[in-house]
Amino acid sequence: MTGLFDGVFSRGAAATDSQAWLRAMLDTEAALARALERAGLAPAGAGAAVTAAAAGTFDAGALGRQAALSGNPVPALAAALRKAVPPDAADTVHRGATSQDIIDTAAMLLARGAMDAMAADLAIAADSCAGLATAHRNTLMIGRTLLQQAVPVTFGLVAAGWLTGLDEARETVARVRARRLAVQFGGAAGTLASLGPEGLAVARLLAEELDLALPVLPWHTDRARIVEVAAACAVAAAALAKIARDVTLLAQSEVAEAREGGGGSGGERRGGSSAMPHKQNPVAAIAILGCTRRVPGLVATLATAAEQEHQRAAGAWHAEWEPFADLLRVTGSAASWAVELTGGLVVDPARMRANLDATHGLPLAERVAGLLAPALGRAAAHDLVARASAHAVAVGGTLRESLLGVPELAGWVDGAGITSAQIDAALDPAGYLGSAGAFTDAALAAHARRSLPMG
């Protein structure tokens, strides 16, 4: 069933809803039966029988209601699965396992699917950012710090920053997915006592069946793996939120340096307002921010729940289930939205240049002061340019007009032996980009070199 808000918060993400949890739990139970048979602890054919039964339909709602009797849905699921298999395979179902083994392993399966989808979307968005960085390597715009105009930059450098953030986020997601997703199998208290000397063999075979790592020992109350998945999601969310926030600011009507392209899947106009038909809201960027704003709270819940007592937590483990799934869902949704945002972003270089020119040369004051410093001294040069800047702001003129047109200021410039042509050169933003081009090239080269196998 599609929820009312799924179009925003469940877009393109691998499934992490109740049905996905149930399927992952059933896959775990089926894999356990096959592992038990391979270890010689279940009759021939039992693994196949349980696997076939597990592929059937089970009522997640009914299992959820029965969970109130035991505190989790696994006992009811195991009972239902036993009823669905032939009598000679019934004792194989859930043998040696505890409820936490099934739920934790299912969580790892959910994480694997979600992180695969997330990494794929991050890679596509990164490729789009690489395209933007290449196309706009020399596109001038005003840089902004503390939301105020600073010095000139290029949009290529901005896109290169987005690119690097996405590449590093994908690398983090890939590393955790490849190295930290492990099977959970410890039995009642982490000893596998009910399986006797075959416990470790069954654990190894279960890991093989599910293609998950085999941990050194059961991690029932060692929640580092859960926290590391959460942290990887947080890294991805940070990179995605950075892009989305920049786009919302660049798309403001008064700025208008970039806007989202595209529309709905049915060709309808995207971004319209129910009350203000003139608007084109940056829907993808807003949706990303709606998803990523939820991430820190979910991460905090999982980090807090990581403190778990003895061999099984009373409540902290239970507190993980929904936040873990929600975190995978909203981070994956943000990544999916980013594919559309970066792939359809429309950049307006002319508007960027107009906004830069509207600063009347004031962002180049630092460069002009550097030009005057050898003759006047650094402090005097700084004071002169500060006075010229203040005058330009006061009269609504340009820094050039103040430096060359106000007699008491122009006299200092002449005395320094600086010509109007030199002032003009110093006020050319294209000449004050420092290493912007080199940084952009470095980000593109690093992107080209990256090879991130997903496990």
The answer to whether residues 414 and 368 belong to one domain is yes
Task: Give Cα 426 distance to the centre of its chain.
Answer: 40
Q: Is the pLDDT of residue 455 over 50?
A: no
Residue 437 lies in a domain: no
Q: Which of 326, 353, 380 delimits the end of a domain?
A: 353
Task: Tell me: do 149 and 109 sit in the same domain.
Answer: yes
Burial class (CB in 10 A: 0-12, 13-18, 19+), 343: middle
Q: Identify the domain containing residue 212 by its residue range.
A: 98-353
Three-state SS for 38?
helix
**Is residue 255 located within the same domain as residue 108?**
yes
* Tokens (6 digits) for 54: 């597990």
Q: For residue 453, is pLDDT > 70?
A: no
Sign (positive or negative) of CA dihedral 37, 43, 44, 46: negative
Least Cα distance to 158 among 234, 249, 235, 288 occurs for 249
Name the pLDDT band for 454 (thresholds 50, 70, 90).
very low
Contacts of 449 by beta carbon, 8 Å cutoff, 6+ apart: none
Are both 172 and 115 inside the same structural domain? yes
The confidence score (pLDDT) of residue 278 equals 52
Cα–Cα distance, 394 to 444 (Å, whole number): 43
Q: Which residue in 321, 343, 325 sits closest to 333, CA to CA?
A: 325
Q: Residue 411: which CATH number?
A: 1.10.40
Does the residue 236 lie in any domain? yes
Same domain, 230 and 292: yes
Question: Is there a domain that residue 87 lies in?
Answer: no
For the cut 70, the answer to whether the pLDDT of residue 421 exceeds it is: yes
The reply to whether 70 falls in a domain is: no
Indicate if 336 belongs to the active site.
no
Q: Spot the catalytic one: 312, 351, 353, 450.
A: 312
The pLDDT value given to residue 280: 79
pLDDT of residue 451: 58
Distance CA 440, CA 445 (A): 9
The answer to whether residue 411 is domain-embedded is yes
Distance CA 344, CA 262 (A): 6
**Residue 419, domain member (yes or no):** yes
Average pLDDT, the chain: 94
Asked if the structure places residue 218 within a domain, the reply is yes
Among 70, 179, 194, 273, the active-site one is 273
The residues facing 346 across adjacent strands are 259
pLDDT at residue 2, as a whole number: 74
Closest by CA to 167, choosing from 127, 131, 137, is 127
How far is the C-alpha of 455 from the C-alpha of 450, rounded, in Å? 15
Residue 265 catalytic? Answer: no
User: Domain boundary at 334, 353, 372, which?
Assistant: 353
At 213-265, the pLDDT tens digits run 999 999 999 999 999 999 999 999 999 999 999 999 999 999 999 999 965 55
Same domain, 367 and 398: yes
Domain total of the chain:
2
For 155-159, the CB contacts below 8 A with 24+ separation are 155/257, 155/347, 155/349, 155/352, 156/132, 156/436, 156/437, 156/440, 157/133, 157/436, 157/439, 157/440, 158/246, 159/129, 159/130, 159/132, 159/133, 159/440
Whether 331 is covered by a domain: the verdict is yes
If asked whether residues 104 and 248 sit together in one domain, one would say: yes
The CATH number assigned to the domain holding 232 equals 1.20.200.10
Task: Please tell me the predicted confidence (pLDDT) of residue 206.
Answer: 98
Looking at the fold, whether 289 and 236 belong to one and the same domain comes out as yes
Burial class (CB in 10 A: 0-12, 13-18, 19+), 278: exposed
Single-letter amino acid code for the residue at 87: P
Indicate if 241 and 131 belong to the same structural domain: yes
Of 304, 320, 353, the last residue of a domain is: 353
Give the rounded distance of the alpha carbon of 368 from its chain centre: 41
Provide the CB-side half-sphere exposure for 140 (13 A, CA): 16
Residues 11-44: pLDDT tens digits? Answer: 976 899 999 999 999 999 999 999 999 999 999 9
Average pLDDT for 144-159: 96
Provide the pLDDT confidence category of residue 347 given band limits of 50, 70 and 90.
very high
Q: What is the mean pLDDT of residues 40-68?
A: 97
**pLDDT at residue 3, as a whole number:** 86
User: In this structure, are 252 and 395 located in the same domain?
Assistant: no
339-353: average pLDDT: 98
Q: How much is the pLDDT for 14? A: 81
142 and 219 in a single domain? The answer is yes
Lowest mean pLDDT segment, chosen from 116-120, 268-272, 365-369: 268-272
Residue 400 shares a structural domain with residue 322:
no
In order of 75, 139, 248, 370, the CA distances from 244 in angstroms are 44, 20, 6, 36
